[in-house]
Structures are given as C-alpha cells and as structure tokens.
C-alpha cells in the first residue's frame, strides 16, 4: 500500500522561481492528505498532476502566511470545479474566522460543507483516525502557536502466504480468520494453523512533519523511530543567531533532532531565500546524521 510524501513547496517566507512556499501532499493507502497550503499550492498540485478534489483533509501548522495563504484560493477552486463532498480542515482556532471572513467579505459561498477541527500547540493530541492511520499533533517551538504532525499506520493483520491459498483451497472467510491469528477447523479434516499459513505484518510506517520550529530538546517521543522526518532547516550555522531570534533551525540542529529521535531518514526543507545553492545544507547536516536528503519542489519520497 502506498505511503508517499510529495513536496509541493519547500521555501521559507516567500517563493522563488525554483521553490514554492510550504506545502506537502501525502498519499497514504490512496487517501490524499495536504499539509500546509502556501500561496500557489493549487498551481503546484496541477503542475505535478494531483487531483486536488480527492483531498478530504487539510492540516495547517500555523498562521504565518507562507503556510496558509493558498488555502482560500484552493477552497474557492474546489467550489468552482463542482466539489460537493465535505472538506475537513485542521489548524489553529483563529483560522476558521479567517476562512469565514474571506467568504463573507467576498459575498461568496461554498457548494460543499467544510468542517473545522481546531488544534492547540500546548499538548499533543490525536486529531484524526480511520481504519488504517492515526494522526497526532506535535507542539513545536515557534514565534506563534505552531504544530507539527505525526502520521502513523495502524498495525496491520498477518499476511497470508500466497502458496497456502491453493494448497489448502482457502476461502475468503478462512483467510480472514487466519490473518486474525485464528486457526481454521474443517469437519473431518486436519486443522489449518494460522502460524503455518501467515507471516507477521509489515511494521507500521511513520512520517513526521516539523516546520517551523526552533530545535526541540523535549517531547521527542512522538518522532522516535520515524521512517521519515521532515524538519525545517531555514538557515545554516552562519546565521545561527538569526535562527535563534526567529525561532527557526539550522541544518545542523535539524540533524541533531533526527539523531536524538533515532529516525531512519531526514529530509531538510524550508530554506531561506538567501541561499541559492543548497548543497551546504547536506555538508552541515551529514556529519551528525548521514541518511539525509534535501527537499525540492516535485520530490516524491516513498516510505
């Protein structure tokens, strides 16, 4: 089943000709989740050929413009293109007032319903759950209330060994029974044991989104053992004083967070426009955390 992160924008503050402002699209089991919605996100969705009417859940980390100003246009386009299914939006409580005000002053309406789910940046919360995934908020350390997001698959059932299907002529209900760890009893025949017909499930996959934030030293339990951590690295250490002043992180600091969280892979992003060439971010991060890559618009990361 798919578990993919698609970078739509990785620039800090303002877009450039090569980098749009922050937005990511997750495809988890063919369900699309949008994280942040900087200006121009709907253009990026079209450019990289994603059907944004399939998006049912949008997560906004905080109310700095480079993370949410594209939301109003995206919602309007969804309306104009005939959307009727409900849209769920998760974000700071003040965001709902901004959405409603935008609709009111433009004397507009939406042909679909949107449901708002307020987040809070003091404590982690379970903010979304379905049959396959859990999503938690992750309090960050920024100038205004900001949350990251943690996406974790639920533990799957055991996997049927394909050759056993023909060997035992297994029916659908029998396979479900075996996958649940139960043995199958057939009258007048030998018992079919689950342990002989199944393999352990694949371990649940985990993605953590952290932007914008000063480096965290506490509350890292939620990022532990993540398959992929996206962590902002707005600056290099040559601007560490500015990073501290603006509650952002350097590439080295992001790498140390990844190391302390024992994550598998780190993706650096949210780059300041002062940096035209980005290889120095890897040079700074990799001495502390080797399995590190740079975000770029259009990058697809499979987990």
* pLDDT of residue 194 exceeding 90: no
- The pLDDT of 230-234, averaged and rounded, is 98
- The pLDDT of 224-250, averaged and rounded, is 97
The confidence score (pLDDT) of residue 170 equals: 83
Token output for 181:
């760890």
For the stretch 7-27, pLDDT in tens is: 999 999 999 989 999 999 999
Average per-residue pLDDT for the chain: 95
Q: Are strands 126-129 and 133-139 parallel, antiparallel or unpaired?
A: antiparallel
Distance in angstroms (rounded) separating the CA atoms of residues 21 and 19: 7
Token output for 186:
């057939």
For the stretch 197-221, pLDDT in tens is: 888 788 899 999 999 999 998 888 9
Where are the domains positioned within the chain? 3-155+204-302, 159-199
Helices 71-80 and 94-105 sit at what angle, rounded to 10 degrees? 50
- The pLDDT of 276-290, averaged and rounded, is 97
| Distance, first Cα to last Cα, the chain | 10
- The pLDDT of 277-281, averaged and rounded, is 96
- Look up 30 and say whether it is catalytic: no
pLDDT band at 179 (very low <50, low <70, confident <90, very high): confident
Distance in angstroms (rounded) separating the CA atoms of residues 222 and 123: 12
Q: Which residues pair with 164 in a beta bridge?
A: none
For the stretch 48-58, pLDDT in tens is: 999 999 999 99
How many percent of the chain have pLDDT more than 70?
Answer: 100
Token output for 159:
């996997």
* pLDDT of residue 281 exceeding 90: yes
* pLDDT of residue 237 exceeding 90: yes
* pLDDT of residue 165 exceeding 90: no
| CATH class entry, domain 3-155+204-302 | alpha beta
* pLDDT of residue 273 exceeding 90: yes
- Catalytic residue of the set 30, 36, 66, 283: 66
Token output for 94:
């003040």
* pLDDT of residue 74 exceeding 90: yes
For the stretch 110-158, pLDDT in tens is: 999 999 999 999 999 999 999 999 999 999 999 999 999 999 999 887 7
The DSSP code sequence of the chain is --EEEEEEE-BSSS--SS-PBSEEEEEETTEEEEE---TTHHHHHHHTT--GGGEEEEE---SSGGGTTTHHHHHHHHHHTT--S-EEEEE-THHHHHHHHHHHHTT---SS-EEEEE--SSS--EEEE-SSEEEEEEE--SSS--EEEEEEEPPPPPEEPHHHHHHHT--HHHHHHHHTT--B--TTS--B-HHHHEEPPPPPPEEEEE-S-SPPSS-GGGGTT-SEEEEE--B-GGGHHHHHHHT--BHHHHHHHHHHTT-S-EEEE-B-TT-S--HHHHHHHTTT-SSEEE--TT-EEE-
The confidence score (pLDDT) of residue 21 equals: 97
User: How many Cα atoms within 13 Å fall on the side-chain side of residue 220?
Assistant: 18
């Amino acid at each position: 089943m798919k578990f993919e992160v698609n970078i739509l924008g990785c620039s800090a503050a303002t877009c450039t000709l090569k980098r749009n402002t922050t937005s990511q699209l997750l495809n988890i089991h063919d369900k699309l989740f949008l994280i942040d919605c900087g200006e121009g996100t709907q253009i990026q969705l079209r450019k990289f050929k994603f059907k944004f009417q399939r998006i049912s859940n949008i997560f906004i980390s905080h109310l700095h413009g480079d993370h949410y100003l594209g939301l109003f246009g995206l919602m309007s386009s969804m309306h104009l293109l005939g959307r009727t299914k409900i849209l769920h939006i998760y974000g700071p409580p003040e965001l709902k007032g901004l959405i409603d005000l935008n609709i009111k002053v433009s004397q507009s309406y939406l042909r679909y319903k949107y449901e708002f789910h307020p987040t809070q940046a003091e404590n982690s919360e379970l903010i979304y759950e379905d049959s396959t995934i859990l999503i938690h908020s992750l309090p960050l350390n920024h100038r205004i209330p900001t949350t990251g997001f943690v996406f974790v698959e639920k533990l799957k059932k055991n996997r049927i060994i394909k050759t056993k299907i023909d060997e035992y002529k297994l029916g659908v209900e029998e396979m479900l029974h075996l996958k649940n760890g139960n043995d199958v009893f057939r009258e007048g025949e030998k018992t079919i044991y689950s342990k002989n017909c199944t393999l352990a499930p694949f371990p649940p996959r985990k993605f953590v989104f952290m932007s914008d934030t000063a480096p965290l030293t506490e509350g890292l339990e939620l990022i532990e053992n993540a398959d992929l951590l996206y962590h902002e690295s707005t600056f290099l250490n040559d601007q560490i004083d500015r990073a501290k002043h603006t509650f952002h992180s350097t590439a080295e600091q992001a790498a140390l967070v990844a190391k302390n969280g024992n994550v598998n892979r780190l993706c650096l992003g949210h780059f300041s426009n002062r940096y035209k060439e980005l290889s120095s971010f890897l040079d700074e991060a990799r001495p502390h955390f080797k399995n590190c890559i740079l975000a770029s618009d259009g990058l697809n990361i499979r987990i």
